[in-house]
Amino acid sequence: MSNDKEFFDEMNAPSGRPGDSVIPESLLILAIRNSSQDTIYFKDKHSRFIWNSLAHVRQFGFSSPEEMVGKTDGDFFPPEFFKRTLAEEKRIMETGEPLIARIESWTDAKGKTHWFSAFKYPLYDLEGNIIGTWGTSRDITALKEAEAELERKNRMLKRLSRMDELSGLYNRRYFYEILKKQASLFTRCNGNPERTFSLIALDVDNFKTINDTFGHAKGDEVIRHIADVLLSNSRESDFVFRIGGDEYMVLLPDTDRNAALAQAERLRSRFERIPIVLGGNPVILTISLGVSCFSDHGSIEEMIHVADDRLYLSKQMGRNRAT
């Protein structure tokens, strides 16, 4: 089709009734072309553009709709996007079934991703034969960016709700949440001993003396130092929590009591080799630890209680030990 008039003379049936005040279809089409904020286009059976709205052509830097006639999506979009649209339009022409509210995206040369809600339909001639496709799309980039920002903030809030602000470790609330999940997993595995999990309870020896000697600001540094050492010496699968004060818990999935006791001893030994500077001098911190294993006990509460009891036993036995 060489121009708009020939196209719409063939595509559109007469409208109006004798005596009606009828707005010419050409004027209606012109209003749609020039004023619609959504993109509108018509394509022939080879997926070449034969008519475009101003919103559509301006999307690609053109000022006149005629500049896009004869072009395809391949002239504007990445190859994978073009290949997909060809397949979609072929299916629409073969089946007569439209594609409704398809969310599409493409990334421009500057790396910006654009999002659209697209509607595609078969294009019929006056005899009811499918001779191409037509469609509309709405730019929803701002909406998708707002959704992504909201999701980012929600993730941040969720993370903050799980984190201890001072140490950067997981907090007491999340500790109980993860414990329940681990217990549920163990139950679903029918008590498979390989899927048991263990707990290490620990705190800093003589922490009150450190606070009294160096002040609470240095005490906060000790809290963060403990967290750093625990994280850097734990597996990726382990969970490290600050329960409160100088009290910590390390949850070890898929770990029995003996393996947990060995890890507790590694942590204890590690602290002896990593001093912290307090008052201008390096200070060796020691920790006391207690270990328990879920499969040895009847409940989460008992598991925690036993780990705490063994921690206090380590204290009574002279500190700087794992029990």
CA 135 to chain CA centroid, Å, is 31
CB within 8 Å of 94: residues ≥ 6 apart: none
Q: What is the pLDDT of residue 4?
A: 53
pLDDT of amino acid 25: 80
What are the residue ranges spanned by the domains of the chain? 4-145, 163-316
Please give the average per-residue pLDDT across 105-120, as a whole number. 87
Rounded average pLDDT over 210-218: 88
Q: What does the block give as tokens for 232?
A: 């850097």
| Sequence-distant (≥ 6) Cβ neighbours of residue 104 within 8 angstroms | 81, 115, 116, 117, 118, 137
Instruction: Say which range, 123-132, 182-191, 220-229, has the weakest mean pLDDT.
Output: 182-191
Task: State the Cα–Cα distance between residues 271 and 284, nearest whole angstrom.
Answer: 7
Q: Is domain 4-145 given the CATH code 3.40.50.300 in the classification?
A: no
Interatomic CA distance for residues 318 and 212, integer angstroms:
21
Pairing of strands 49-52, 39-44: antiparallel
What is the pLDDT, as a whole number, of residue 102? 87
Q: What is the DSSP string of 8-20?
A: HHHH------TTS
Q: Is the pLDDT of residue 71 over 70?
A: yes
- For the annotated catalytic residues, the residue numbers are 246
Give pTM, 2 decimals. 0.58
Enclosing H/E stretch for 263: helix 257-272
Lowest mean pLDDT among 1-5, 211-215, 280-284: 1-5
Percent of the chain with pLDDT over 70: 93
SS3 76: coil
User: Distance between terminal CA atoms of the chain?
Assistant: 87
Distance between CA 58 and CA 60 in Å, rounded? Answer: 5
Looking at per-residue pLDDT, the higher value among 13 and 250 belongs to 250
Angle between helices 141-162 and 172-188 (to 10 degrees): 90
Neighbours of 44 (CB within 10 A): 16
The percent of residues above 90 in pLDDT, for the chain, comes to 61
**Which tens digits make up the pLDDT trace of 293-320?**
999 987 999 999 999 999 999 999 999 9
Determine the pLDDT at residue 26. 82
Identify which has the larger pLDDT, 226 or 26: 226
59-63, 105-109, 259-263: segment of lowest average pLDDT: 105-109
pLDDT at 2: 45
In terms of Cβ atoms closer than 10 Å to its own Cβ (0-12, 13-18, 19+), residue 200 is buried
pLDDT at 131: 96
> Regarding predicted confidence, which is higher, 238 or 156?
238
User: Which pLDDT band, with edges at 50, 70 and 90, does 1 fall under?
Assistant: very low
Which of 251, 244, 225, 237 has the alpha carbon at shortest distance from 164?
Answer: 244
pLDDT at 303: 96
Distance CA 305, CA 107 (A): 55
* CATH superfamily of the domain spanning 163-316: Reverse transcriptase/Diguanylate cyclase domain (3.30.70.270)
- In this predicted structure, the answer to whether residue 19 has a pLDDT above a threshold of 70 is no
* CA–CA–CA angle 274, 228, 314 (5° rounding): 65
pLDDT tens digit sequence for 151-172? 888 887 777 788 998 999 999 9
DSSP-derived secondary structure for 44-68: ETTS-EEEE-HHHHHTTT-SSGGGG
pLDDT at 11 exceeding the cut of 60: no
Average pLDDT, the chain: 89
pLDDT tier at 20, thresholds 50, 70, 90 = low
Between 135 and 25, name the one with better pLDDT.
Answer: 135
